[in-house]
Amino acid sequence: MSKLVEKGIKRIEWASKDMKVLQLIKKHFEKRKPLKRVRIGMCMHLTTETANLALTLKAGGAEVYLTASNPLTIQDDVVAALNHHYGIETYGYRGEDTEEYYKNIKKVLDHKLDVVIDDGADLIAELHKNYIEKAKNLAGALEETTTGVIRLRAMAKEGKLLFPVIAVNDAYTKHMFDNRYGTGQSTIDGILRATNKLLAGTNFVVIGYGWCGKGIAMRARGLGAKVIVCEVDAIKALEAKMEGYDVMPLKEAAKIGDIFVTVTGNKNVIDEEHIDLMKDGAILANSGHFNVEINLSYLEEIAEMKETPRENVTSYHLKDGRVINVLGEGRLVNLVAAEGHPSSVMDMSFANQALSVEYLINNKGALKPDVYKVPDFIDYEVAKIKLETMGVEIDELTEEQREYLNSWEFGTE
Ligand code: ADE
């Protein structure tokens, strides 16, 4: 066995110990085989946690094919272990170019498939562009992330979506935990591993105050940074202000920020007008799904040279003498410079995935092409089991309280 395969197996097993909900589902799947002969194509970050999801689906009887949802978030030891130890065909290597990335998506789509699991909707988009017949025969799909769900809702709105999709991202036990605590911790982890900077005392600018932004702001503050939030949504901006952060337009923050993190899901969020105002030595990172949030073409244009002083840091030496540092080529810093969200939080996201695949198969043909919520019974089941695995007990409503909550007659007494 090669050293790479050995390393992958050890890391996948290590992650599994923190994925107790998924392991329980795997045990049930092994007994019941609810996914017997179901063919599943997955396009996800190729991490130890994804490997554990793939193994759970396989334990349920599924045939699984895997490719990456980002060329820079591929863990080569995981790919090696899946291919050469666990018998799951997995395509891709860290740093593959865009052409190779799409070739590998096509390799998954060349198999007969019943269900696809996507992270960012690149595979689903490819199905709709070049594999229409295949798309029409699918039981459905699952989407892991906010950006993918936004793309799929746009497809559904245009009447283009060809099969039902379950928005796993929107489950409470996914976005409230994975997006907040997962992105919060792993983004800081990525920045620290890439730069080895002290955050205490820095001006740390979080651009976008959704669930991911809330997590990053909270953890940066915890490490002593002075957090500034930039938002376009008035309600979210108000929430950030009342949480005690400074809130201002990016044009103001650009002048004083030391570290900038984008988490908006939008394009050119850090643009020319902001880069022009930044201090020498500013650090730019992105934790949104695609590498479009920082205008890198502008940096390329105004730089007279660039260098890589450390792994995952590109320093742009500008003609005006300033140096601007970009982490992880503007791709997801938490997965490029660190290992993504910790296993314990991916446990809940991937438990939702596994149970939602079973739900899709059980409801094959009954759901029209549209974007659906994860059923509440799955969401609550995941929360309940997670609490149990953490050794936490909670109270239950009494019969009298249940009745009271279901009545309208009782008022002021
Ligand atoms: N997305 C964020 N973190 C992840 C991880 N550890 N594995 C798979 N997808 C992720």
- Are residues 8 and 124 both part of a single domain? yes
pTM above 0.85, yes or no: yes
- Return the best residue to mutate from 14, 287, 289, 335 for the ligand 1 pocket (most ligand atoms within 8 A of CB): 335
Q: Three-class SS of residue 270?
A: strand
Closest CA to 289 of 82, 158, 121: 121
Q: Residue 303 belongs to what domain range?
A: 183-336
Contacts of 336 (CB under 8 A, 6+ apart): 72, 73, 190, 312, 327, 328, 329
The token pair at 307 is: 């260098």
For residue 400, being part of any structural domain is answered with no
Q: Are 197 and 254 in contact (CB under 8 A)?
A: no
- Are residues 353 and 284 both part of a single domain? no
Look over the chain and give the mean of its residue pLDDT values, rounded to a whole number.
Answer: 97
Domain final residue, candidates 320, 336, 352: 336
- Are residues 162 and 59 both part of a single domain? yes
Domain final residue, candidates 300, 316, 336: 336
Query: How large a percentage of the chain has pLDDT more than 70?
Result: 100
For residue 45, being part of any structural domain is answered with yes
Q: Is the dihedral of CA 58, 64, 70, 74 positive or negative?
A: positive
On the question of pLDDT at 413 being above 90, the answer is no
Separation between Cα atoms, residue 182 and residue 45, nearest integer Å: 14
- Return the best residue to mutate from 47, 56, 117 for the ligand 1 pocket (most ligand atoms within 8 A of CB): 47
- Are residues 40 and 77 both part of a single domain? yes
CB 69 less than 6 A from any atom of ligand 1: no
- Are residues 49 and 165 both part of a single domain? yes
- What's residue 228's pLDDT? 98
On the question of pLDDT at 8 being above 90, the answer is yes
- Are residues 147 and 199 both part of a single domain? no
CB 190 less than 6 A from any atom of ligand 1: no
- Return the best residue to mutate from 48, 49, 66, 331 for the ligand 1 pocket (most ligand atoms within 8 A of CB): 49
Q: How many domains, the chain? A: 2
For residue 398, being part of any structural domain is answered with no
Return the number of other C-beta atoms located less than 10 Å from residue 24's C-beta: 16
For residue 281, being part of any structural domain is answered with yes
- What's residue 290's pLDDT? 92
Domain final residue, candidates 301, 319, 336: 336
- Are residues 198 and 298 both part of a single domain? yes
Residues 45-72, mean pLDDT to the nearest whole number = 97
On the question of pLDDT at 123 being above 90, the answer is yes
- Are residues 213 and 331 both part of a single domain? yes
The token pair at 161 is: 């979506």
Separation between Cα atoms, residue 216 and residue 183, nearest integer Å: 7
CATH code assigned at 243 = 3.40.50.720
- Are residues 170 and 234 both part of a single domain? no
For residue 298, being part of any structural domain is answered with yes
- The per-residue pLDDT for range 276-330, each reduced to its tens digit, is 999 999 999 999 999 999 999 999 999 999 999 999 999 999 999 999 999 999 9
Confidence band, pLDDT 50/70/90 cuts, at residue 1: confident
CATH code assigned at 14 = 3.40.50.1480
Separation between Cα atoms, residue 392 and residue 381, nearest integer Å: 14
- What's residue 411's pLDDT? 86
- What's residue 396's pLDDT? 96
The token pair at 309 is: 């002083």
277: CA distance to ligand 1 center in Å? 34
For residue 406, being part of any structural domain is answered with no
Residues 149-167, mean pLDDT to the nearest whole number = 96
Separation between Cα atoms, residue 264 and residue 115, nearest integer Å: 29
- What's residue 173's pLDDT? 97
Closest CA to 38 of 133, 165, 141: 141
Strand bridging mode 323-327 / 313-318: antiparallel
Residues 23-47, mean pLDDT to the nearest whole number = 97
Confidence band, pLDDT 50/70/90 cuts, at residue 115: very high
235: CA distance to ligand 1 center in Å? 28
Q: Three-class SS of residue 30?
A: helix
- Are residues 188 and 312 both part of a single domain? yes
- Are residues 305 and 226 both part of a single domain? yes
For residue 409, being part of any structural domain is answered with no
For residue 78, being part of any structural domain is answered with yes
CB 341 less than 6 A from any atom of ligand 1: yes
- Are residues 326 and 346 both part of a single domain? no
- What's residue 410's pLDDT? 86
- The per-residue pLDDT for range 85-102, each reduced to its tens digit, is 999 999 999 999 999 999
